[in-house]
Structure 1
Amino acid sequence: MDPSLAVPTTGTPTPHSPGPVGPDDVALAVKLSVRALSSVPEDGWDRPAGDVTWSCWETVEHLADDLFAYALQIGPAVPPVTTHVPVSWRQMRPDGPSSTIFVAREEGRDGLLQALEACGALLVAMVRTSSPRLRAHHVFGVSDPEGFGAMGVVETLVHTHDVTSGSGLPWQPPDHLCRRVLHRLFPDAPTDAAPWPALLWSTGRAELPGRPRLEKWRWHGEPRG
């Protein structure tokens, strides 16, 4: 079936819903991330990104690649619903992330963040202009443009957390961004915790009172009814 003919999810706000994730949410997440990451010193990019095994530089490259890949996935008129758009990935080192997007180190922090901003802009544009009826493959569930936007916001918030925690920098994203992506992608997220700690717990990055840190986690990309 043509995925553009699927029934759309309206995302109409209700008393129990924070509203849909939109392109402006993606744009805000990327803007705040670039602002926070601009404080990473030039000699700090080879440090581990928090508990992630990648360096801070590799983690931001991975984040840019995520945003690019999500934009790519909903780009075709009839996106694939069983696999990814066929682009090549590679690793710069055996334990590094597999990516399409890499930035030459001589470009420095400004070049890296410019690439992040550009990939974010691609996802913003695709979420803004794609039909809500469109469906495309993701390993965590066939999703719609809102879902891919929400994935981009989650990736941006948590990987910025990884890098800033590895560099000892503050990072506190807005509650409304966290609430919207929790509602869209994490239906089993705890409701008795503040949105940001709940998102960190849901992505295996923190403990909560009475809830140990998750060793495995996933989101649910399928449109919510």
Structure 2
Amino acid sequence: MFDHDHAEPAGDMAPVTAEDLAEGVRLVVALLRRPVALAADWGRPAGSPGWSCWETAEHLADDLFSYGAQLGPQTPPADTHVPFVWRREAPGRPANVIFAERGSGPQGIVQVLESCGALHVAMVRTASPQARAFHVFGTTDPEGSAAMGLVELFAHAEDLAQGLGLDWRAPAPVCARVLTRLFPGAPTDTDPWATLLWATGRGELPGRQRLTEWRWDSTPRT
């Protein structure tokens, strides 16, 4: 759990924007298009989720698609997701709407991810500030949706980097804005990337226990 007595969000922190989300998509797509990534075995396990790299990338694409889709209805569902058909290919695998053709190879799954990311960016960019999107961690607004997409992008990029043998580090300024928006109880005097990994149960912070359970607060701030 976060220590709310020690970390207040910076009052002058800029909001998370569609441009931040677009940059996050660009960075992660570029990471996964490195020759070493495209030549790797995507059947290998990724980091913390326990899925293969392919399944993790599909899950990430599905997150971005779903977050964008939740912003679509003029009258969004108040207590559940838009009722797309979700399916799980096998026990223990992620339940998705979005799947990539296996025969398309790593280039194909990265293209699917890039396309879903572009859809999410477009929805954040064009949605009214008053738009709302259901999420189990708090029905959110377009800014919160963008921040959620960035958490998924950066955290699962870390998982994929571990599985594919890549070096990866998310940009600190964007991480700081995402932490302020979604994890208001997280420490503000530590490295933002390390803090985001800690906040999502993927890393250590000095003097703090590693999290085994975590959640963000995506409710609007105003």
Q: Same fold (TM over 0.5)?
A: yes
In 2, Cα distance between equivalents of 1:190 and 1:153: 19
Shift of 1:57: 0.5
Aligned pairs for 1:188-207 within 5 A = 188-207=185-204
Question: Which amino acid in 2 is paired with 1:111?
Answer: G
Question: Deviations along 1:94-142, whole A, 9 cap, x unmatched?
Answer: 1110001101111011111111011011111110111101122110011
* Change in 2 beyond 3 A, CA 1:15/1:189: closer
Alignment partner, residue 28 of structure 1: 23
Identity of matched residues, %: 54
* Change in 2 beyond 3 A, CA 1:206/1:15: closer
Question: Which amino acid in 1 is paired with 2:181?
Answer: R
Alignment partner, residue 75 of structure 1: 72
Question: Which amino acid in 2 is paired with 1:80?
Answer: P
Alignment partner, residue 161 of structure 2: 164
Gaps of 5+ in 1: 1-13
Alignment partner, residue 100 of structure 2: 103
Equivalent of residue 57 in structure 2, options 52, 57, 60:
60
Does the CA-based 8 Å contact 1:17-1:183 persist in structure 2? no
Does the CA-based 8 Å contact 2:59-2:94 persist in structure 1? yes
- 1:125 maps to 2:112: no
Alignment partner, residue 218 of structure 1: 215
The alignment's TM-score, normalised by the length of structure 2, stands at 0.92
Alignment partner, residue 146 of structure 2: 149
Question: Which amino acid in 2 is paired with 1:148?
Answer: S
In 2, Cα distance between equivalents of 1:46 and 1:212: 32
SS of 2:166's equivalent in the other structure is coil
Alignment partner, residue 181 of structure 2: 184
Alignment partner, residue 48 of structure 2: 51
In 2, Cα distance between equivalents of 1:17 and 1:164: 33
Does the CA-based 8 Å contact 2:62-2:98 persist in structure 1? yes
SS of 2:88's equivalent in the other structure is coil
The alignment's TM-score, normalised by the length of structure 1, stands at 0.91
Gaps of 5+ in 2: 1-8
Shift of 1:192: 2.2
In 2, Cα distance between equivalents of 1:33 and 1:52: 18
Question: Which amino acid in 1 is paired with 2:129?
Answer: P
Does the CA-based 8 Å contact 1:18-1:176 persist in structure 2? no
Does the CA-based 8 Å contact 2:58-2:98 persist in structure 1? yes
Does the CA-based 8 Å contact 1:47-1:55 persist in structure 2? yes
Q: What RMSD, in angstroms, separates the aligned Cα atoms of the two structures?
A: 1.3
Question: Which amino acid in 2 is paired with 1:100?
Answer: V
Alignment partner, residue 5 of structure 2: none
In 1, Cα distance between equivalents of 2:165 and 2:43: 14
Q: Larger deviation: 26-35 or 37-46?
A: 37-46
Shift of 1:15: 6.7
